[in-house]
Amino acid sequence: MAFEFRLPDIGEGLEDAEIVSWYVSPGDVVERDQSLLEVLTDKASSELPSPVAGKVLKLSGQEGDRIKVGDVLIEIEEPLTTPPQENSLEEDLEIEESKPERDNSRIEEQKNFITVAPKVKASPATRKLARELTVDISSISGTGSSGRITNDDVRLAAKSDNTSSRPSSPIDSEQTSSFMPERSNLGFMEPGEHKVKGVRGVIAKNMSAAWTEIPHIHSLDEVDASLLIDFRNRLKKVTRQGASKITPLSIIAAATVRALKKYPMMNGHVVGNPAEKIIIPPSINLGIAVASESGLLVPVISEANSIDIFELAEKISELVELARERKITVEQMQGATFTITNYGALGGRWALPIISLGQAGILGVGKIEDRPVAVEGKVEARPTLPIVLGADHRLIDGDVAEAFKNSIMNDLLEPLNLLVTE
């Protein structure tokens, strides 16, 4: 009997999704909860597991096609099962003693039908990388959350003669480990014509609309990061949950949340084009832009105004890992009221970031590096942090933008302020 697996209702009013990648082909045997395909909405990508075990009969749609909620994705032939007989113990013994020789060939056929490879916890991007590096992904022990295999695990396995002897945890620099994935295909595309699809298609659509609708103003500045770095080093030694996750970015995020509390207009947005009404949300939902192998993703720390710097650092670390591994959910990428983009982790110093639709501002963070500065009449080399504030000029005037940016800078110069409970 053929089971028809239809595109489920993913929520949030989404009516369709794009098929990014099929993990199975007609004739393959799948188990229940095995990932069948990856689909992409305007919010995020998701892996869809099989609700049944059986043999794949037919796939509906190719990679790049859009399919509506309720349409058939795949047909699976479920194996026939015979319900167990309710015999007494004596009857069972008699049957066991008198039953004829089993048809071993039939048993092997059934075993072959239901036996599948062990389920591997890895994102589509990680699976693709393993194929490119000719690494047997099933032989790798994952170091990610819940044993999930990461890109770093695959790369270490590719460099090792024996994947079973690889170290339990990869070592990355603090600056780049979360925000700058090592990509073997960075900037590569085959000559010829390519359809704009997948994450790239979503980014292109959203950025074009944001740049067209929002009149941007940008304000650039630099901050002496000496005290910020010292503050980070001290907090990492604190015996408190989340202290080990403290980074310069999480400190900047905490300062941004404090500034958004003082200037709630920066946490709002304009509805309509050119402008019909202004919305000021009751909560601060902070988006953190993350570079993934498939493009830019923005996980969201909901109600960031209600947590301290330690919990904020922990949540940023957790969501960034999920985003990099393409395990981020639709819900975890919704509702941002303000965004921080850390292009400094990519080596950049200055940029003019684009504000996301439904927001009034974005903070760009550049690379911290030693620069000559004047200190009490003398020139010294000090670690400096370049920051850029982008604001929607329909809602935010220059005085509000400068006051907001100065609030962030003041807290970075006096980071002990971030430990004060308001």
Task: Please identify every residue annotated as catalytic.
Answer: 393
- Closest by CA to 357, choosing from 332, 380, 379, 338, is 338
Both structure tokens of 367:
């690379």
Grouping H, G, I as helix, E, B as strand and the rest as coil, residue 222 is strand
The sign of the dihedral angle between the CA atoms of 54, 58, 63, 67 is negative
Query: Could you give the CA distance from residue 224 to residue 81 in angstroms, rounded to a whole number?
Result: 70
Token pair 């304009």 in the structure block, residue? 270
The single-letter DSSP state of residue 262 is H
The single-letter DSSP state of residue 328 is -
Residue 277 class from Cβ within 10 Å (0-12 exposed, 13-18 middle, 19+ buried)?
Answer: exposed
Query: Could you give the CA distance from residue 366 to residue 376 in angstroms, rounded to a whole number?
Result: 26
Residues present in the chain in total: 422
Query: Could you give the CA distance from residue 343 to residue 214 in angstroms, rounded to a whole number?
Result: 21
Both structure tokens of 195:
């359809």
Grouping H, G, I as helix, E, B as strand and the rest as coil, residue 378 is strand
Opening angle at CA 198, ends 214 and 313, nearest 5: 65
* β-pair type (369-375, 29-30): unpaired
Query: Could you give the CA distance from residue 274 to residue 213 in angstroms, rounded to a whole number?
Result: 7
Query: Could you give the CA distance from residue 22 to residue 25 in angstroms, rounded to a whole number?
Result: 7
The CB-side HSE value for 200 (13 A sphere, CA atoms) comes to 10
For 272-332, strand residue ranges (E) read 277-279, 286-292, 295-297, 300-301
* β-pair type (54-59, 35-40): unpaired
Question: 415: cis peptide before it, omega within 30°?
Answer: no
